[in-house]
Amino acid sequence: MINRQPAIHIPAISQWDEKINIKLSGFAPGESVEIAAEVNDEADVNWRSRAVFQADDAGEVDPAMTMPLEGTYRVKDQMGLFWSMKAADPTCAFQKKSARPSVFNIEVKQNGNILLRKKIKRLIISETIIREEVNAHGVAGTFFRPRSVEHPPVVIVLGGSDGGLDETTAGMLSNSGYAALALPYFQYGDLPKKLIEIPLEYFQKTLAWLLEQDGLNHERIGIFGRSKGGELALLIGSHFPGIRFVISHVGGGIVFQGVGLKRLRQTSSWSVGGSPLPYAPLPFFSFSLLGKWLKQKIKRQPQCYLDAYQHALRHVTEEHPSIIKAERIQGPVLLTSSTDDMVWPSAHMSEMVIERLKKHRFPHFFKHVCLKQAGHHIRPPYFPTTARNSTNIVYGGGTEADALASEAFWRELLQFLKDVVE
C-alpha cells in the first residue's frame, strides 16, 4: 500500500509582480482538494479566495495546468488565488499603498478539514532597494533607489484622484532597475487638500530636487501617471523639457475641472503662476445628468462619471485651450487605456492624443495599448480585481478581464521603459 504524505510547495518569499505556483503532492489520484488563501489589507479588511481541484494520476495538483472545479475563479491560472480574492463587503477595493510586505495565509483542505497551512510573504520592494522618505524644499514623497544599478534612469510616479501617497508602483519599478519617486500632489502632509488648481511649479521643484541627487541618470528622467495622474503626466511632459518620456495610464490629454469642488463652483485642476489653466468643465447641470446624479445620491450608490466626461468632450474642439499640447513632449510616449472604463473614456481620450501626435509629426516613439473589456481600476498584476466600484465611484470591467489587463499593462510598461532608456 502506498503511504501518501500530503505536501504543499510554494516559495516562502516572492516579489509582488512575480508569478508563483502553489503545487500540491501526496494525494490519491482523483481526490478533491481545496486550496484557500487569505490576507488582510492595510485597512485591516480580510480578503479570501478558494479553488477546488482534482488530483491528477500522480496525486498532484498544479493550478498552472488545471482549471478549478469550483471556487472564486474558474480559469487555468496559477495566480488565480491572488487576483480573485474577495472581501465580505463588495464595495471594498483592496487597500495597499505602502511598500511594506504582505503576509498571505495558504491552507489546504479536504472535507472541510485543514490538512496543511503555510504563510508566504509577498514583497513590494526587495532587500536591494533603498527606501528614502522625502520632505525637502516643498517636495514630499518616497524615493526608491536600486543599490545594484549605477546611474539608474528615474521615473516620477503619480497617483490619481484618490490622492495621498501610493508607494506600490514606484517600489515595484525600482525592483526592475529604476530609481522611482512616489510623488503625492494633494491630500498628503502640507500639500493641498483637494485636487484644485495644483501648481505645476510643485513638479518643477521636484525635477530640481532630482537633479541635485547624485548617482542618477539625469538624461533619463520620465514620468508615469495613473488616471487623473495620467492627465497630469502628459501636462508635465508638455511643460518641462527635462521630462524625457511619459506614460499615461487610463488617463487623457485634456485638462478637466478640479475634483472635489462643490457643484456650484468650477475651476481648473492645475495652475501656473497662480492662474488656473484652461479646462473643460463637466456638465453636471444638464437635465439628464443631474437627474441621474440625484438618483444615485439619494440611493447612496457609487457614481458613474463616464456620461459627464463624454458630454464634456462634445464641446472640446480640436484647438480647445484645455487640450494638452502633447507634441511638445521631449521623448517617447506610452498610453494605456481600457474599453470598459466607467470613470471616463480613457480609450477615446488616449486615441485623441495619438491622433494629435500624428498630426504634428511627433518625432519620438509613441504607442497606445487599449486593454479589452477592462475597467478603470487597473493596477500592477496580482492585486485583487474583484471590486467593480468603490464606495463613491464605479470602475467598470470584470474580475478576469481586469486580471489579464493588469498583467498586460505591466508587461507593456516594463518593455516600454526597457526600450526608451537603453
pLDDT in tens, the chain (422 residues): 455 799 999 999 999 999 999 999 999 999 999 999 999 999 999 999 999 999 999 999 999 999 999 999 999 999 999 999 999 887 788 999 999 999 999 999 999 899 999 999 999 999 999 999 999 989 999 999 999 999 999 999 999 999 999 999 999 999 999 999 999 999 999 999 999 999 999 999 999 999 999 999 999 999 999 999 999 999 999 999 999 999 999 999 999 999 987 655 789 999 999 999 999 999 865 545 656 666 666 666 678 889 999 999 999 988 899 999 999 999 999 999 999 999 999 999 999 999 999 999 999 999 999 999 999 999 999 999 999 888 788 999 999 999 999 999 999 999 999 999 87
Coil, helix or strand at residue 354: helix
Which DSSP letter does residue 123 get? E
Same domain, 208 and 357: yes
At which of 123, 156, 183 does a domain end?
123
**Cα dist from 91 to 95, 260, 341, whole Å:** 12, 20, 17
Could you say which of 49, 161, 227, 248 is catalytic?
227
CATH number, position 105: 2.60.40.2240
Q: Does residue 285 share a domain with residue 172?
A: yes
Q: Indicate whether 138 belongs to any domain.
A: yes
Grid cell 456650484 is found at 264
The DSSP string of 139-170 is EEEEEEEETT-SS--EEEEE--TT-S---HHH
Distance, CA of 330 to CA of 362 (rounded, Å): 10
Same domain, yes or no: 103 and 215: no
The beta-strand segments (E) located in 20-101 are: 23-25, 32-40, 46-54, 70-71, 86-87
Instruction: Give domain status of residue 2, yes or no.
Output: no
Domain check: are 390 and 247 in the same one? yes
Asked if 152 and 178 count as a contact pair (C-beta separation under 8 A), the reply is yes
In a domain, 371, yes or no: yes
240 and 299 belong to one structural domain: yes
The count of structural domains within the chain is: 2
| Residue 231 falls inside a structural domain | yes
Same domain, 205 and 115: no
Classified as helix, coil or strand, 94 is coil
- Same-domain status, 356 and 281: yes
184 and 111 inside one domain = no
- Residue 107 near residue 36 (C-beta atoms within 8 A): yes
The catalytic position among 239, 368, 376, 377 is 376
| 360 in catalytic set | no
Assign 213 to helix, strand or coil: coil
- The residue ranges of DSSP E strands in 238-377, in sequence order, are 245-249, 270-272, 275-276, 333-338, 366-371
> Do 118 and 133 fall within a single domain?
no
Q: Which of 101, 123, 145 is the last residue of a domain?
A: 123
Cα gap 5→344, rounded to integer Å: 53
Nearest to 131 by CA among 166, 180, 96, 187: 180
376 classed as catalytic: yes
Any bridge partners for residue 120, and if so which? 104
Annotation marks residue 102 as catalytic: no
Residues 106 and 175 in one domain: no
Q: Which of 269, 341, 346, 402 is catalytic?
A: 341
Establish if 255 belongs to a structural domain.
yes
Domain final position from 123, 146, 177: 123
**Residue 103 and residue 249 in one domain:** no
Residue 256 is part of which domain span? 129-421
Q: Tell me, yes or no, whether 136 and 91 share the same domain.
A: no
Residue 1 lies in a domain: no
**E-assigned strands of 344-384?**
366-371
Q: At what angle do helices 287-298 and 306-313 cross, to 10 degrees?
A: 170
